[in-house]
Amino acid sequence: MYRLQDRFTRTSRIGRGKIPRGIRQEVFLRDNNTCQFCGRGFPEELLTVDHLIPIALGGLDEITNYATACRHCNEKKAATPLKDFAASLNIRIEALPVHGDPIIDNQDLPIQIRLIRKRIFDKQRKGELRATGKSAQKRTEKEYRRALWESEVGNQLSNELPSLPGHARAIVPEARTVSASEVDQLFLIELTKSANTRSLIGSVLTKDRDLWTSIERIRSESKDDALKKRIDQALIRFAKEVRRRNLSYPTNAPSPQVGSGSQVTTNV
């Protein structure tokens, strides 16, 4: 399963690697064992995983760039740009699915946000936005934020949280879908304020894991002192925010500890 954390921690893979069996099966399953080009169903052994944006043209070797194709279509497509191949078959790029993106796949997010994200992939597949090479993912995130701020959802977020930096604000809708409570959400927002904790956010922004257990584990097990310090700083800001809003501090949340160089004491 492709997790939210991958959105922040993955490095673009360039060049052809071996696609793990589990991922191949996941792609076939999601595409219902149907070739996305000719629309015909096949038994698994006759199916291949196609790179929509061909590797030879700089496309990434990752799940959002995969689609199920029969051998015939895959061979015919080879390194033809997706746009041209789709046109030759009368297929609309928009009709091709995007699999494995943590925003598009998150059914708890407002549909407008998921569509914003889908449109970015469509643009990339049409060749209107670069989706190749090392900085491809960064470009996707940047384009996503830009499109988000131009949308109604983004406008609402700006009005609601005007003091939050843009990159932190962009995480809010996702944080809302994975937080068990309003209080948990507040903490995630504090955590996002440190740009360097983005990969950390990814690892705690996971629905099937308890937020505070994850945080406690990172604080006790991580060898990264700077990271622990940032978590403590987020906890301090969080404690303040909880007080300001007259909420009660969660019983299972760690209290901020006196870290190296910090002079903070708490009376939680």
**Rule CB under 5 A: is residue 253 a binding residue for Zn ion?**
no
- Min dist. Cβ of residue 84 to Zn ion (A): 16
Task: Name the one range near Zn ion by CB under 5 A: 27-35, 49-57, 206-214, 226-234.
Answer: 27-35
CA angle 260, 264, 268 (to 5 degrees): 125
Task: Name the one range near Zn ion by CB under 5 A: 7-15, 69-77, 192-200, 205-213.
Answer: 69-77
**Which residue in the set 28, 37, 85, 187 belongs to the binding site for Zn ion (CB under 5 A)?**
37
- Pick out residues in 208-247 that bind Zn ion (CB under 5 A): none
- Min dist. Cβ of residue 231 to Zn ion (A): 49
- Min dist. Cβ of residue 82 to Zn ion (A): 14
63, 65, 67, 70 alpha-carbon torsion, rounded to 10°: -120
39, 63, 175, 129 alpha-carbon torsion, rounded to 10°: -80
Q: Which is nearer to Zn ion, 1 or 78 (CB)?
A: 78
- Min dist. Cβ of residue 70 to Zn ion (A): 3
Q: Which is nearer to Zn ion, 70 or 104 (CB)?
A: 70
**Rule CB under 5 A: is residue 73 a binding residue for Zn ion?**
yes
**Rule CB under 5 A: is residue 70 a binding residue for Zn ion?**
yes
**Rule CB under 5 A: is residue 35 a binding residue for Zn ion?**
yes
Total chain residues near Zn ion (CB under 5 A): 5
- Residue 197, CB-side half-sphere exposure with 13 Å CA sphere: 25
Cα–Cα distances in angstroms (integers) from residue 238 to residues 60, 186, 209, 248, in the given order: 38, 7, 20, 11
- Min dist. Cβ of residue 217 to Zn ion (A): 46
CA–CA gap between residue 241 and residue 239 (Å, rounded): 5
**Which residue in the set 38, 55, 115, 227 belongs to the binding site for Zn ion (CB under 5 A)?**
38
Q: Which is nearer to Zn ion, 35 or 67 (CB)?
A: 35
Q: Which is nearer to Zn ion, 50 or 101 (CB)?
A: 50
- Min dist. Cβ of residue 37 to Zn ion (A): 5
Positions that interact with Zn ion (CB under 5 A): 35, 37-38, 70, 73
